[in-house]
Amino acid sequence: MYIGIDVGGTSIKAGIVDYKGNILYKDTIGTRASLGYEAVREDMITLINKAIQYSKQENYRIDSIGIGVPGIADPQSDNVIYCTNLNWKDAPLGKDLKSRYGLPIYIDNDATVAAIAESVKGITKGSENSVFLTLGTGVGGGIIINRKVYSGTHNKGSEIGHMIIGENFYDCNCGNNGCLETFASATAIVRYTQKLIDEGFLDEEFMEALRSKDGVMDTKFIFDMAKKNNELALKSIDRMVKYLSIGIGNFINILNPDIIAIGGGVSKAGKYLIEKINREFINYVIFKEGSTTEIKLSQLGNDAGIIGAALISEYK
């Protein structure tokens, strides 16, 4: 059995997971990010202690503890090099937990952890080589090669959202221009749609529908309008799909994965989004004949963080 910890900006989730990815126990607590590393670490310890207590009651043997964080960990020490959302830098999380529990501690990026979860129990189960893309406020992801996580020599690879795919009208938060997440994230979709409106793209149907929801424009609204063949919404969504497909084409040309799974808030557009991507991405694939990479929606949702974190050790 394994303990998995999913550390997010608003909550910390913990669970006991078996080798098949089944969650046997689950608990959660709010993230006290504003109080700093020590407070969050203590809350994690509380969750781990409760999980260990439960494992003793059920006679489970815990083999390791895995943790998914929205940041980068050092593969040698399993300390967190930086974690922007929690304002951590060089946090000795691996060291602190190893000394406390005497168990192997594994820490990895939350998007990589989600890729592991999908490989264990989700849409990429059974696949040797896969890519997981999460499209939310930003764009993240994880790469599985020969059923092992690929993050590069210093664990700083697989920054999928920062692949440069074209010139854009605004710079990424990382300082570069043209990052995938400035084209394919929820933020990017809304930002480009607003740009069209500001530049005088007149679409009364779109604006009337927007006024009816108090002027609050989000990705769901834009996709809903695109599904109704609204011109403004389609212009925005089709641009997003084009650049996302360029990124997907790059992955296929370089890695030739079996499956590319798409998750995150934007993926809630569902079949509509996948069908558009499937029509577009082939334009950017070198070997079009016999191309077998499948583009699919991820399956696991909120449980992916716990499952993937718990099983990091199996993918190292």
Give the CATH number, domain containing residue 26: 3.30.420.40
Residues in the chain, pLDDT under 70: none
Give the distance from CA 76 to its chain's centroid: 23
276 plus 201 within the same structural domain: yes
Identify the pLDDT of residue 260. 97
Give pLDDT tens digits for 294-310: 999 999 988 999 999 99
The amino acid at residue 235 is: K
pLDDT of residue 301: 81
Mark whether 113 and 6 lie in a shared domain. yes
pTM: 0.89
**pLDDT recorded at residue 43:** 95
Same domain (yes/no): 116, 18: yes
Number of independent structural domains in the chain: 2
Residues 259-305: tens digit of each pLDDT: 999 999 999 999 999 999 999 999 999 998 877 899 999 999 889 99
Looking at the fold, whether 53 and 84 belong to one and the same domain comes out as yes
Residues 159 and 275 in one domain: yes
Count the residues in the chain.
316
pLDDT of residue 288: 83
End-to-end CA distance of the chain: 17
DSSP 196-246: HHHTT---HHHHHHHHHTTT---HHHHHHHHHTT-HHHHHHHHHHHHHHHH
Residue 229, number of CB atoms within 10 A of its CB: 9
Give the per-residue pLDDT at 82.
79
Sign (positive or negative) of CA dihedral 298, 304, 307, 312? positive
